[in-house]
Structure 1
Amino acid sequence: MKKLILSVITTLAFTLCTPFITQASPLAYSTERIAGQDRVETALKISQKGWNSAQTVILCEYNDFPDSIAATPFAVSLNAPILLTRGEAIDPRVIQELQRLSPQKVILLGGTACLQPAIETELTEKLSIDWERIGGFDRYETSVLLAKKLSSDSLILANGDDFPDALSAATFAGIRQIPIVLTSTKLPDSVIKYYQEARPQHLIVIGGEAVIPSDNLKKNNFTVETRLAGYDRYGTNAEVVSYMKDTYQSIDLFLASGITFPDAVAGTVLASKFKAPLLLTEINDIPPSVYTIMREHMKVEPPVPAQAPKDNSEDNTSDKAASNLHKQGKITASGGLNLRETPSSTGNVLITIPEGTTINLGDKQDQWYKTTYQSKTGWVSANYLAVISIKGIISASGGLNLRETPSSTGNVLVTIPKATSVELLEQQDHWYKTTYESKTGWVSADYITLATTNDNSSTSNNGTTPNNGNSAPSIDLTVNGQVYILGGTAIISPTSQSIIEGKKSSNYKDNLKDFPPLPSEIKKPDPPPSRGDDNDAPPAEDPITPSPPDTTYDPSKEVLINPFQEIPANALAGKTIMLDPGHGGPDKGASGPNKTHEKNNNLAIALALEDTLKQAGAIVLLTRDKDISPCDNYSEIEDLQARVTIANKSKADLFISIHNDANLKPTIQGTSTYYSEDNPKNYASLHLANSIQSAVIDTVKTNNRGLKQASFYVLRNTTMPSILLETAFISNPYEEARLQNPTFQKNVASAILLGIYNYYKNPLPEA
């Protein structure tokens, strides 16, 4: 598994304080634009974002999209950035980037008509870099040659006469290592021959009948398992991203132009490294199908202030509707509050909403409010909510009439002076219901400025600041992820960027509809047993802010443990365990800010684990016991297959792959353990992952990032229970230092031993 090389990559996890637009359901993301002066420089910026060094670089002609767009899965298999250049000579800026990356090989993609022989001479004589050319008679044959470089039981078929469909599938193909073969409305002979030879078990067709007709596929005995197509290129992009959502592991998004291809091509490999989807957009707006994907991806949204109009009498009210009035509540249950399917404490629990979360409140039934949280709609107990009253400030210069009915012809009960604060109880069209001087009636919403306050406190503790209608809501958007915009402002305009950030409205009517409301924050509570509606009395304690992550490392605090105080002698006798130290040889894995490399940490932990397992009586095998790759001629796919082959031939009882994690955000810490549902022993793998994750967290006290399911090559293709441990974040300076400490390495090994022992001590029940 390839992870990000991050020693020079940082990003800001920040709180965005910006005036958001008043629209039904705006987007709300932080953004980062990756762009250069032209397409060549943009590809360089993308390379610099994701790679400190590279064993292989793929070089494409900057106008030739078909060859380059089919290369994404192959490039990902090599962990190779894609660079662009003109065809007659290597761009001087590309030469500088090659010198920075120090590759052993450059792969020229396309024939000599695209990248001329002069480039071969430059690579050999000027840069002393080996090169290889992959190029067929046409774009279709080139895609077939690239497909043959991968080993997969699946195939993606996309039209090669235009780029959007293949581009939509490229990131998924890169992550899952599925080849993309290009075709036309009539299947080329090279594609037919490849399909007959490869006989893929799963064929995914991207695009509708107009671009890849079913009749032509049936005529040539192509068996289509899945076709993904939308009304247009953006609809197809949304269909692909939705279909493949379980593949993506990052909360971040990549955004590329659906009009021009070069910026997107280089970005597909970076998005694959992030394990993030790639969305397509127009220049000046976000197409509705893509907007919907982005909106559904969000976890939080800012409260939207209503703006007071310039008029000061409700008798001059326009037909423009006021913002919807959403009553809000803050969860007070110390262990979180159950969202139930029905308004009853015996209702089925849909999800538990963390303490401190602010939610929108809908219908009320007895002591239950209806609400939506993380796309699930249900009921929460009113006993464990601090209802946040919605206040309004009268803005009409002559005061505002309180009327008996919600109509400008309704009987006037009293006139409320300007600047008076009133509580808004209900909304009906352009009118708010309120009470003033013991009289309850209706006021025009066009002369009310909203201000949100908490009934229990004059200050809010929920991540937003009280809003007087003019000040901006303050909200932490990092949980929504970051949108990386590929290309300059001529490709994706500042207007589109502002729509993504929530600063402007989309011009598409479909984007202005009401999406399910989201909370303004998500908090992780401490885990006491309370579940709110299951108790008789609401808890009184406020949420406890978790302590910040450690930043200064003191190696003296690492105390060596003895696992054999808990494990009897020869507890693992008769068990054969395969250890897989990730990466190695030419593949450094991820790198830390202090230039340490993952491959070395993985090996050190594996060797320490080998010793402890042998002491417990186990037979121990390793895919590598030194700084090498287990395959003869290195490529990522050959390296991974070699590890799988070694494990399966050994008929080991367990397979343990050891890695370091990495992230663009250097503050992130913790441990996670992966298993694969595609492994033939998937339930046993999950049981093993849980045992090891628990033991590691308890032993070395890292943050628990939980169990995760992923179809990593070494997990899905091994035949025994298999897990992959992400020990700690090498991208975090504190954890990078821990990973270098031999005591920490030995303690991790001891923890894995304890996890394996517990796995066998507490077996799964017989089926």
Structure 2
Amino acid sequence: MQKRNKKILSVCSLASLVISSSVVSTGVKAASSQPSSTRISGADRYETAVQVSKTGWTSSDYVVIANGQGYADALCADPLAKAKNAPVLLTQSDSLSSSTIAEIKRLNAKHVIIVGGTGVVKSNIEDTIKSQTGADITRYGGTDRYETSTKIAAAIGTTSKVVLASGQGFADALSAAPAASIEGVPIILTQANSLPQTSANYIKANSGITKTYVIGGTASVSDSVLSQVPGGQRFGGSDRFATNKAVIEGLSSDFNFNNVYVALGVGPNGNEFADALTGAALAGKNKNALVITSNPLSSYTTQLLSDKLTTSSTITVLGGTANISDSILSQLKSAVTNTGSTSGGGGSSTGETKNITSQALSSNFYTTLGKNKQYYTVASGANNDSIDVTLKNTSANDKVDTLEGIFANAKTRYGYVDTTGKLTYVDTPNAEGISLKNDVGRVNARIDMLDNNFKMNGVTGGLKAILGSLGSKYFTPEGYLDYTAIEKEIEANPNDAIGSYSAFYNDLNGQKDSYFNNNKTLATSTPTLTCTIGDYSENVSGLSFTNASNSTTTLYSKNNTVEVNVNALVENLFPAPTTAADTPTDSISAVGTYKVTFDNRDYIVVNVK
């Protein structure tokens, strides 16, 4: 579930700037400011659903209707709603509220999709909708919740991935609903120890499914069930809150963390699913995560918020204070900077959070750049709260920081002459010091930096060893880009920059996939990465960057396999091609704010300018 991004200088490469450096550790605390918050609520779950709809949609051709009293058939509704760009509204089994009817009218919806059979949503609901709104009705319902999930899946359409979650509880499926919605993949339900025949038949009939995201621990979905599905990858934990954390961390590349939605995940009645269900539709629309919570808070929840949110983020509470009180909201906000205390079961240490880059950098730090000093200057940031890396460009207008930028700017940047079909400034720079070799060297410098400490289980020689072993014509055996191969590609297609970069991208990824197919043990192993700064040494939990709009993309996670992490890092270095409509310098700069988070919740901040 790797989200494409255009940041060429990955967090892992920035982490390597500090890994072998000497820093004086004084234990300065992070800033005490907290994220903002807002609440979407109504008098009850039906009114809250209406308010969620009003928040997210000014109009919609479609509306999805689900039973607000039982979760069984409703669990799979969110990916279908996302496919139709529709909100999810709730109904009682035989009575539709006037405010829900009014919301369907406000949206000017022409089509209403009912989830569940007539035993869940009675036929008279259809009559009410038709007579009062004029919308047509489509119903997806089966003999049970498992068959209903497959009918909804069929309505979503062909897919190469599915989410498999328990049909015997709501928390796991709704934790995964935003990511499933963003990716356009259905949620299929299962029993804990037995894959229902209807679910098995759906998966078997869709032979294109190669990946199954299994949500929940073995108590929710057993290993025997996982073994029956294609490409099973588990995101689970000891309880629903640990699973929620594992899902959001493991699939975090799908999400923007400028905002998270928070809904009650457990309560006295066992059916406190409604706000999470309707809120997940809005979360999927906005590419945000859904955090489930409780009173008292689980330490899994507080650590998740600390790891993934910043003080620029917003926490949006779904539901009224009877479900999530203002006191709980205050604790959620405090968790982001660890300025408050929380209680609850499970999770790792909730000790003090420190900004490691709030320390003074020793002179040894600068020597770690080695030959790459020609490309960067490094200094302590303002107030010693970050590391500032300033890119050294060869001219005031030099914005080429990616290989795609090299291809896109080749004709003007490297002296292409129509009559000769050759690049002029390849080995010898022009008057401004610009040459193809120098620009490719910049990208190679970042590969170097990323490789310095990318030593995950069994990856002998690091990332460069993998790149050099692919057999790609674009890379040398040492794992560097071969600038002469780039030159040949540009000269072969001088008027098709996108096509040239696409040829490189397709070759790289094809060779990489083949590499991991031939190295299954390495591909499926779980990585470990340790960062040591002077006397400070910790295992890295996650590497991410925060762009100008404060959305976070995870480039490394200890919860992902080596293959997933390598794919993320390579995609960060060499992102998917843009379209011909993009201008050559669109989003090709490495500038941004990067964050390295450790298992103990300390962190490093790096600003690239």
TM-score, scaled to structure 1: 0.44
Match of 1:173 in 2: 180
- Asked if the contact 1:255–1:280 (Cα under 8 Å) also holds between the matched residues in 2, the reply is yes
Select which of 87, 94, 97 maps to 2:103: 97
CA-to-aligned-CA distance 1:540-587 (integer Å, 9 cap, x gap): xxxxxxxxxxxxxxxxxxxxxxxx99999999x9xxxxxxxxxxxxxx
Letter in 1 for 2:46: V
Match of 1:496 in 2: 328
Within 5 A, what are the aligned runs for 1:444-593?
477-478=311-312, 481-502=313-334, 504-508=340-344, 513-518=350-355, 530-532=377-379
Match of 2:215 in 1: 206
Match of 2:88 in 1: 82
| Residue 93 (structure 1) shift | 0.1
Match of 1:69 in 2: 75
Q: Is structure 2 residue 44 aligned with structure 1 residue 32? A: no
Match of 1:272 in 2: 284
Letter in 2 for 1:251: N
- Asked if the contact 1:106–1:132 (Cα under 8 Å) also holds between the matched residues in 2, the reply is yes
Could you say what secondary structure the match of 1:65 adopts?
coil
Match of 1:414 in 2: none
- Asked if the contact 2:257–2:309 (Cα under 8 Å) also holds between the matched residues in 1, the reply is no
- Asked if the contact 1:72–1:170 (Cα under 8 Å) also holds between the matched residues in 2, the reply is yes
| Residue 154 (structure 1) shift | 1.2
Larger Rg: 1
Instruction: Provide closer, same or farther for how the CA distance between residues 182 and 24 of structure 1 changes in structure 2, counting only shifts above 3 A.
Output: same
Instruction: Give the whole-Å Cα distance in 1 for the aligned partners of 2:163 and 2:418.
Output: 50
- Asked if the contact 1:73–1:170 (Cα under 8 Å) also holds between the matched residues in 2, the reply is yes
| Residue 258 (structure 1) shift | 0.9
CA-to-aligned-CA distance 1:466-492 (integer Å, 9 cap, x gap): xxxxxxxxxxx32xx111111111111
Match of 2:199 in 1: 191
Instruction: Give the whole-Å Cα distance in 1 for the aligned partners of 2:351 and 2:579.
Output: 40
- Asked if the contact 1:172–1:277 (Cα under 8 Å) also holds between the matched residues in 2, the reply is yes
- Asked if the contact 1:31–1:485 (Cα under 8 Å) also holds between the matched residues in 2, the reply is yes
Select which of 112, 136, 139 maps to 1:130: 136
| Residue 295 (structure 1) shift | 0.9
Instruction: Provide closer, same or farther for how the CA distance between residues 706 and 568 of structure 1 changes in structure 2, counting only shifts above 3 A.
Output: farther
Select which of 57, 63, 67 maps to 2:63: 57
Letter in 2 for 1:531: V
| Residue 501 (structure 1) shift | 2.6
Letter in 2 for 1:517: K
Letter in 2 for 1:195: I
- Asked if the contact 1:24–1:515 (Cα under 8 Å) also holds between the matched residues in 2, the reply is no
Instruction: Give the whole-Å Cα distance in 2 for the aligned partners of 1:160 and 1:516.
Output: 38
Instruction: Provide closer, same or farther for how the CA distance between residues 517 and 198 of structure 1 changes in structure 2, counting only shifts above 3 A.
Output: same
- Asked if the contact 1:271–1:277 (Cα under 8 Å) also holds between the matched residues in 2, the reply is yes
Larger strand proportion of the pair: 1
Select which of 295, 300, 304 maps to 1:293: 304
Greater CA drift, 262-271 or 194-203: 194-203
- Asked if the contact 2:315–2:333 (Cα under 8 Å) also holds between the matched residues in 1, the reply is no
Could you say what secondary structure the match of 1:532 adopts?
strand
Match of 1:43 in 2: 49
Within 5 A, what are the aligned runs for 1:229-628?
229-259=236-266, 260-282=272-294, 284-299=295-310, 477-478=311-312, 481-502=313-334, 504-508=340-344, 513-518=350-355, 530-532=377-379
CA-to-aligned-CA distance 1:270-310 (integer Å, 9 cap, x gap): 1112211111110x3321111111111244xxxxxxxxxxx
Instruction: Give the whole-Å Cα distance in 1 for the aligned partners of 2:593 and 2:412.
Output: 27
Instruction: Give the whole-Å Cα distance in 2 for the aligned partners of 1:241 and 1:73.
Output: 16
Match of 1:156 in 2: 163
| Residue 256 (structure 1) shift | 1.2
Aligned pairs, number: 382
Could you say what secondary structure the match of 2:217 adopts?
coil
CA-to-aligned-CA distance 1:199-244 (integer Å, 9 cap, x gap): 32112221222232233555xx434521222111111111111111
Letter in 2 for 1:499: Q
Instruction: Give the whole-Å Cα distance in 2 for the aligned partners of 1:67 and 1:37.
Output: 24
Alignment RMSD, CA only?
4.7
TM-score, scaled to structure 2: 0.54
| Residue 26 (structure 1) shift | 8.1
Greater CA drift, 682-691 or 500-509: 682-691
CA-to-aligned-CA distance 1:414-472 (integer Å, 9 cap, x gap): xxxxxxxxxxxxxxxxxxxxxxxxxxxxxxxxxxxxxxxxxxxxxxxxxxxxxxxxxxx
Instruction: Give the whole-Å Cα distance in 1 for the aligned partners of 2:590 and 2:108.
Output: 37
Instruction: Give the whole-Å Cα distance in 1 for the aligned partners of 2:263 and 2:288.
Output: 13
- Asked if the contact 2:146–2:167 (Cα under 8 Å) also holds between the matched residues in 1, the reply is yes
Could you say what secondary structure the match of 1:158 adopts?
strand
- Asked if the contact 1:254–1:278 (Cα under 8 Å) also holds between the matched residues in 2, the reply is yes
Match of 1:413 in 2: none
Letter in 1 for 2:350: K
Could you say what secondary structure the match of 1:40 adopts?
helix
Instruction: Provide closer, same or farther for how the CA distance between residues 24 and 512 of structure 1 changes in structure 2, counting only shifts above 3 A.
Output: farther
- Asked if the contact 1:154–1:201 (Cα under 8 Å) also holds between the matched residues in 2, the reply is yes
Instruction: Give the whole-Å Cα distance in 2 for the aligned partners of 1:210 and 1:38.
Output: 32
Instruction: Give the whole-Å Cα distance in 2 for the aligned partners of 1:216 and 1:225.
Output: 9
Instruction: Give the whole-Å Cα distance in 1 for the aligned partners of 2:167 and 2:576.
Output: 44
Select which of 122, 140, 145 maps to 1:139: 145
| Residue 177 (structure 1) shift | 1.5
Could you say what secondary structure the match of 1:145 adopts?
helix
| Residue 116 (structure 1) shift | 1.4
- Asked if the contact 1:47–1:81 (Cα under 8 Å) also holds between the matched residues in 2, the reply is yes
CA-to-aligned-CA distance 1:104-160 (integer Å, 9 cap, x gap): 200011111222111212222221111111111111100000111232111211110
| Residue 511 (structure 1) shift | 8.3
Letter in 2 for 1:518: N
Match of 2:523 in 1: none
Which ranges of structure 1 fall in alignment gaps of 5 or more residues? 1-22, 300-476, 522-527, 539-563, 574-615, 621-666, 670-676, 709-767
- Asked if the contact 2:110–2:134 (Cα under 8 Å) also holds between the matched residues in 1, the reply is no
Instruction: Give the whole-Å Cα distance in 1 for the aligned partners of 2:110 and 2:592.
Output: 38
CA-to-aligned-CA distance 1:664-712 (integer Å, 9 cap, x gap): xxx979xxxxxxx989x979974854998674569xxx9998899xxxx
Could you say what secondary structure the match of 2:124 adopts?
helix
Instruction: Provide closer, same or farther for how the CA distance between residues 288 and 156 of structure 1 changes in structure 2, counting only shifts above 3 A.
Output: same
Instruction: Give the whole-Å Cα distance in 1 for the aligned partners of 2:329 and 2:119.
Output: 38
Larger helix proportion of the pair: 2
Structure ranking higher on relative contact order (CA contacts 8 Å, 6+ apart): 2
Letter in 2 for 1:280: I
Letter in 1 for 2:302: Y
Question: Percent identity at matched positions?
Answer: 28
- Asked if the contact 2:255–2:288 (Cα under 8 Å) also holds between the matched residues in 1, the reply is yes
Instruction: Give the whole-Å Cα distance in 1 for the aligned partners of 2:215 and 2:302.
Output: 20
- Asked if the contact 1:39–1:263 (Cα under 8 Å) also holds between the matched residues in 2, the reply is yes
Match of 2:426 in 1: none
- Asked if the contact 2:257–2:308 (Cα under 8 Å) also holds between the matched residues in 1, the reply is no
Instruction: Give the whole-Å Cα distance in 2 for the aligned partners of 1:197 and 1:69.
Output: 22
| Residue 90 (structure 1) shift | 2.1
| Residue 56 (structure 1) shift | 0.7
Instruction: Give the whole-Å Cα distance in 2 for the aligned partners of 1:687 and 1:227.
Output: 27
Instruction: Give the whole-Å Cα distance in 2 for the aligned partners of 1:293 and 1:112.
Output: 40
